[in-house]
Amino acid sequence: MDKTIIKAKKVECIIGLFFLLPPVLGVFVFILQLFERATNFFWMLSSRGGGIYLGLMAIAGVYLIKDSFYIFFVKDE
């Protein structure tokens, strides 16, 4: 496989993981909020339409990762 394609797929996967980080942290904070461990600041962020934004970020991240995650297991030659 061409080295430029491998590099492009790795960058694509890293960007996808970056897009998945805020939604995962949002779920973590939501679970903490359920047990009343988080502050009100985090609850304000998620209650002002942030759920749609985080959902779209999660969809974009998964779309970027789905065809590029395998490239971390391909040996560079």
pLDDT, tens only, 15-64 = 988 988 888 887 787 777 777 665 555 555 555 566 677 778 888 888 88
Q: CB count, 10 Å around CB of 15?
A: 15
pLDDT tier at 3, thresholds 50, 70, 90: confident
Q: Report how far apart, in Å, the C-alpha atoms of 49 and of each of 36, 43, 53, 56 are.
A: 21, 11, 7, 12
Residue type, 34: L
Which residue did the predictor score with more confidence, 9 or 49? 9
pTM over 0.75: no
